[in-house]
Structure 1
């Protein structure tokens, strides 16, 4: 059974909602909060990417999110707490492989919100969106092998370890190992 990625998702940015969160496009006003989140040591520890040091860095990242959406290459949601209107974290589906109906996910959550069920709520909402609205067949996550919390979250949602790559990623002067996790649409139906 061949599946087609739903291209209409990219017509207008999809705003979503869960019990405590609103999922919407980043805007430039989020740049300061995004800087604080992405540069927080507990968050950046496993990101294996350049850590922002100025608001201009996160403004550029936000513009990149917008461009990726406009080009149909990915979607990144800021998730905002409904009560406080505070940026809690984000979730993206990118590197969308249309031929194979597969997308890579990534997510961050500010540490003050850890252990409060926010990421579980976000994952429930956004995994359903990826499969039901975007019509993906599978989601993958590339994880730093030392990131035990992320691996536990993925396993909780039924992701399976698909591959272990030795020294496949060069960052900060060294080659790093990574693990690839996958969730098939049929795993949750």
Structure 2
């Protein structure tokens, strides 16, 4: 059973290099910057944010999800500079089955430097050990090698491949579905702790 206390006060988290706080409307210009960047948009099959208003509306929807207990969205803040570098979400939170889908974006200048993996480790520790999630799901564009690589490195397993199940920008696109169980994450975390 999920721990609903975290819907009364947003869970701010901290890792070695990151502060993870609730995304809010004042982050709209940063969100717009990421979601209008061509490098990010290649595999982010969602509408481009052409205006600040679009980003504000998107954030407002996510804040509403939090109030409705169906989502949590973190801003990823680099500790040393206070700079916004990306975001991470639990959404479609399924209380009955203790499951959530994940979504994430990161500024391209921070790619391949371990930032998202660090954020995931911190958020998954919270999600599985405190929030009481049983499983996580990730839905990616099959061409997104970077997402596949990070998900599998975190212990996610491929569960499905759906052909042309998602209509976006005039085309039907394929999807790959990955999942991570609480038991696999905790076991993997213990094994990594023993090795290090």
Normalised TM-score (structure 2): 0.93
Provide the rounded CA distance (Å) in 1 between the counterparts of 2:34 and 2:11.
23
Q: Which residue of 1 aligns with 2:158?
A: 161
How far off is 1:28 after superposition? 2.0
Q: Which residue of 2 aligns with 1:135?
A: 132
Give the superposed CA RMSD: 0.8
Q: 1:67 aligns with which of 60, 64, 68?
A: 64
Contact preservation (8 Å) 1:9, 1:133: no
Residues 118-166 of structure 1: per-residue CA shift (max 9 Å, x gap): 1111010011111112111100000001000000000000100000001
Q: Which residue of 2 aligns with 1:147?
A: 144
Q: Which residue of 2 aligns with 1:53?
A: 50
| SS of equivalent residue, structure 2 residue 9 | coil
Provide the rounded CA distance (Å) in 1 between the counterparts of 2:142 and 2:38.
17
How far off is 1:38 after superposition? 1.2
Give structure 1 regions of 4+ aligned residues with deviation exceeding 4 angstroms: none
Q: How does 1:37-116 map to 2 (within 5 A)?
A: 37-116=34-113
Residues 63-98 of structure 1: per-residue CA shift (max 9 Å, x gap): 112111111010010011111111111110010111
Unmatched runs of 5 consecutive residues or more in structure 2: 187-196
| SS of equivalent residue, structure 1 residue 34 | helix
Provide the rounded CA distance (Å) in 1 between the counterparts of 2:22 and 2:99.
21
Q: Which residue of 2 aligns with 1:118?
A: 115
Provide the rounded CA distance (Å) in 2 between the counterparts of 1:81 and 1:137.
29
| SS of equivalent residue, structure 1 residue 119 | helix
Provide the rounded CA distance (Å) in 1 between the counterparts of 2:22 and 2:3.
19
| SS of equivalent residue, structure 1 residue 53 | coil
Number of corresponding residues: 186
